[in-house]
C-alpha cells in the first residue's frame, strides 16, 4: 500500500494544474476568471472542475493564499539579506521586494490589495498570511530599537490610538513604543499606496521613472520612521 495512492497523487497534480491555469487567467480576467475557461484550457468539461474546487470562491481563496505566501516569502527573504543592523538597507530591500513581486504578479496583487471581490468574503485562514508583510517591516524597527539605533518618537499618542496600538504591541512586539509602531504602519501604508498607484496606472503620465520615484519616496518614509542614514 503506497503512502499516497495513485488517485491521491493524480488528484494533487490536478489541483496544482488547475491553480496554474487559473493564475494565467487571473492575469487577463482579474477576479472574475471563468471556471469554464479554465476547464476548456485543460481539455475537460466545466463540471469536472467542481470535483476539485467546490466553488469559484474556493479557487480564489486558494490563489489568494498562495499569493500571500509568495509575497510574504519575498519580503521575508529580502529583509534577511542585508546585515541585521543595516536598517535602511533592510527597509529598502523589503519594499523593493514587495514592489518587484507586485510588478511581476499584478493580477495577484490586485486580488490581495485591490477592491474586495463583490460576493466574496475572505476566510479566516487568510488573515495570518496577510499580516506577514507588515509584521516583517515593523520587525526592522524592533531590531533597530533593540540595538539602540532608533530613538523612539517623542510624541505622545492620543488615547484611543495608544490603546489600540498597545494591543498590537502586546500581541506582536512586546515593549515597542506605540508611537514607533504608528510610524511603521505609516511606512507600510505608504508602501502599499506607492505600489497601488504604480500598478493601477495612476503614475502613468505623471512619473515616467517610477523605479527612482519609488526609491525616493520609500526613503522619505525611512526618515519618518527614524532609520539612521
Partner DNA sequence: TCCCGTCAAGAGCACTGCTCTCGCTTTTGT
Partner DNA sequence: ACAAAAGCGAGAGCAGTGCTCTTGACGGGA
Rg of the chain in Å (alpha carbons): 21
With the CA atoms of 183, 147, 89 and 162 taken in that order, what torsion angle do they form, in degrees rounded to the nearest 10? -10
Shortest CB 130 distance to DNA, Å: 23
Task: For the chain, report the end-to-end CA distance as a whole number of angstroms.
Answer: 61
Query: Could you say whether residue 36 binds DNA (CB under 7 A)?
Result: yes
Query: Could you say whether residue 6 binds DNA (CB under 7 A)?
Result: yes
Query: Could you say whether residue 152 binds a copy of itself (CB under 8 A)?
Result: no
Query: Could you say whether residue 99 binds a copy of itself (CB under 8 A)?
Result: no
Interface residue with DNA, options 55, 131, 189, 204 (CB under 7 A): 55
Residue 229 binds which of a copy of itself, DNA, none (CB < 5-8 A, kind-dependent):
none
Query: Could you say whether residue 29 binds a copy of itself (CB under 8 A)?
Result: yes
Query: Could you say whether residue 46 binds DNA (CB under 7 A)?
Result: yes
Interface residue with DNA, options 34, 69, 189, 204 (CB under 7 A): 34
Question: To which residue does cell 514607533 refer?
Answer: 180
Interface residue with DNA, options 16, 20, 27, 45 (CB under 7 A): 45
Residue 212 binds which of DNA, a copy of itself, none (CB < 5-8 A, kind-dependent):
a copy of itself
Sign of CA dihedral 102, 106, 111, 115: positive
Segment near a copy of itself (CB under 8 A), from 38-46, 60-68, 79-87, 203-211?
A: 203-211
Residue 79 burial (10 A CB sphere; 0-12, 13-18, 19+): buried
Helix, strand and coil content of the chain, in percent to the nearest 5, comes to: 70, 0, 30
Interface residue with a copy of itself, options 130, 132, 143, 152 (CB under 8 A): 130
With the CA atoms of 69, 70, 75 and 77 taken in that order, what torsion angle do they form, in degrees rounded to the nearest 10? 100
Query: Could you say whether residue 121 binds DNA (CB under 7 A)?
Result: no
Reading the block at residue 21, the C-alpha cell is 491555469
Query: Could you say whether residue 125 binds a copy of itself (CB under 8 A)?
Result: no
Q: Scanning residues 173 to 202, which ones bind a copy of itself (CB under 8 A)?
A: 182-183, 185-186, 189-190, 192-194, 196-197, 200-202
Question: What are the two backbone dihedrals, phi and then psi, of residue 206, each rounded to the nearest 5 degrees?
Answer: -75, -40
Q: In Å, how far from its chain's centre is CA 147? A: 27
Amino acid at each position: 500500500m503506497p503512502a499516497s495512492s495513485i488517485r491521491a497523487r493524480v488528484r494533487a497534480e490536478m489541483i496544482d494544474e488547475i491553480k496554474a491555469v487559473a493564475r494565467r487567467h487571473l492575469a487577463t480576467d482579474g477576479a472574475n476568471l471563468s471556471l469554464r475557461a479554465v476547464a476548456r484550457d485543460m481539455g475537460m468539461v466545466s463540471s469536472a472542475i467542481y470535483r476539485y474546487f467546490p466553488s469559484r470562491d474556493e479557487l480564489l481563496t486558494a490563489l489568494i493564499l498562495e499569493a500571500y505566501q509568495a509575497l510574504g516569502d519575498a519580503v521575508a527573504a529580502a529583509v534577511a539579506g542585508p546585515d541585521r543592523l543595516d536598517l535602511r538597507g533592510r527597509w529598502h530591500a523589503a519594499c523593493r521586494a514587495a514592489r518587484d513581486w507586485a510588478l511581476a504578479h499584478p493580477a495577484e496583487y490586485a486580488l490581495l490589495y485591490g477592491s474586495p471581490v463583490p460576493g466574496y468574503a475572505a476566510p479566516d485562514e487568510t488573515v495570518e498570511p496577510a499580516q506577514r508583510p507588515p509584521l516583517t517591516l515593523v520587525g526592522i524597527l524592533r531590531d533597530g530599537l533593540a540595538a539602540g539605533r532608533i530613538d523612539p518618537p517623542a510624541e505622545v499618542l492620543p488615547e484611543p490610538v495608544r490603546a489600540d496600538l498597545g494591543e498590537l504591541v502586546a500581541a506582536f512586539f512586546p515593549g515597542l513604543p506605540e508611537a514607533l509602531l504608528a510610524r511603521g504602519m505609516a511606512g507600510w501604508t505608504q508602501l502599499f499606496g506607492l505600489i497601488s498607484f504604480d500598478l493601477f496606472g495612476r503614475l502613468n503620465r505623471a512619473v515616467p521613472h517610477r523605479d527612482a520615484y519609488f526609491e525616493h519616496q520609500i526613503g522619505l518614509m525611512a526618515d519618518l520612521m527614524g532609520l539612521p542614514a
